[in-house]
Amino acid sequence: MADAHAGLAVSREFAAMGGTIEVQLVNRGDAEADDIEALFASYERTMSRFLPDSELCALNAAGGAPFETSPVLFDAVRLALEWARATDGVFDPTLLDELEAAGYDRSFEQLAGGVAPRPSPPTHDAARWREIALDDSRRTITLPVGVRIDLGGIGKGFTVDRAIASLGDGANAMVNASGDLYAAGDGPEEEGWYVGVANPFEMEHDVAVLRVRDRGVATSGSARRHWTAGDRRYHHLIDPRAGVSSDSDLLTVTVVAATATEADVLAKTAYLLGSRDGMRFVEQRGGCACMAITLRGDVMRSRGIEAYETE
């Protein structure tokens, strides 16, 4: 969470996308904050799988037939598929069946009391995202029969980036969607924006504080979003290679990248790949760096992260 500083023109918090959205604007007014709040509400109505009348739910119900989409949904799905290709399917937007089988069939706040165990889905076809057809000229998406999309792995970062872009060039602002954020400009004190990396074992404390300018930052892991079914612990990060909640040796991963979307996807991918391969994957992408905390409590740092750490 970015630190609050004196001198902000606008500081706003509101509920959206299953969490709290924090907006901090320098040299801006309430109108821009209102626009960002409205943008989040609109994008949630488009991309949420928990709103039965959302456009995404309509797309998922149209399996096998071309579905004409809004520009927002088309761009979000296209970007999700691009990241599926870039990660060789480790990031997979077609894991909705597996998420629901793990018990994640309702918004997370409704899972606090635990869920009933459910049968496992059929064996996951790790290549099914490749069969999704996009027609740019008609702006249609065709899902194969039996394939449904979940945009929870990319939707917040995608929306954050669109919110920042709506402010135009030269913005000095931070938009934080429950840990997926973009910090533009020099911050309210012209020192950059400060982002704490929480200790997953003591959430009220940070293991590090990063200082960023014009960068996206995202944290992913199983420390916060997990639940029980019977005597088993589940979480929302499904390993597409197994079709069940990942048994990664990592607890959380925080990534700094060029956009909030990239940071969001890379944090999830690194978590799923585990400490060795995940750190290497992030380091191979130019301009990206990460910090990961293992289940044993070890703090791992990739090359380049030291450029963002404060004393």
What are the residue ranges spanned by the domains of the chain?
A: 10-307
User: Using an 8 Å Cβ cutoff, are 305 and 291 in contact?
Assistant: yes
Collapsed DSSP state (helix, strand, coil) of residue 249: coil
Nearest to 282 by CA among 239, 251, 253: 253
Q: What percent of the chain has pLDDT over 70?
A: 82
Count of Cβ atoms closer than 10 Å to residue 135 Cβ: 12
Mean pLDDT over the full length of the chain: 87
Residue-wise pLDDT for 53-90, tens only, equals 999 999 999 989 999 999 999 999 999 999 999 999 99
Position 271 scores a pLDDT of 92
For 242-252, how does the pLDDT look when each residue is reduced to its tens digit (9 = 90+)?
A: 656 667 889 99
CA–CA separation, 238 and 245 (whole Å): 4
pLDDT mean over 197-205: 88
pLDDT of residue 124: 58
Please give the CATH number for the structural domain made up of 10-307: 3.10.520.10
Q: What is the pTM of this model?
A: 0.88
User: Which residue would you say has higher pLDDT here, 153 or 186?
Assistant: 186
111 versus 222: the higher-pLDDT residue is 222
Is residue 2 predicted with pLDDT exceeding 50?
no
Q: How far apart are CA 273 and CA 279, in angstroms?
A: 8
| 3-state secondary structure (DSSP) of residue 221 | strand
Burial call 185-217: b when 16+ CB within 10 Å, e when fewer? bebbeeebbbbbbbbbeeeeeebbebbbeebbb
Percent of the chain whose pLDDT exceeds 90:
71
Q: Is the pLDDT of residue 49 over 70?
A: yes
Cβ pair 266, 257 in contact under 8 A: yes
Tens digit of each residue's pLDDT (9 = 90 or more) over 155-199: 999 999 999 999 999 999 999 999 999 999 999 999 999 999 999
Which residue would you say has higher pLDDT here, 33 or 95?
33
- What average pLDDT does range 208-231 have in this prediction? 78
pLDDT tier at 202, thresholds 50, 70, 90: confident
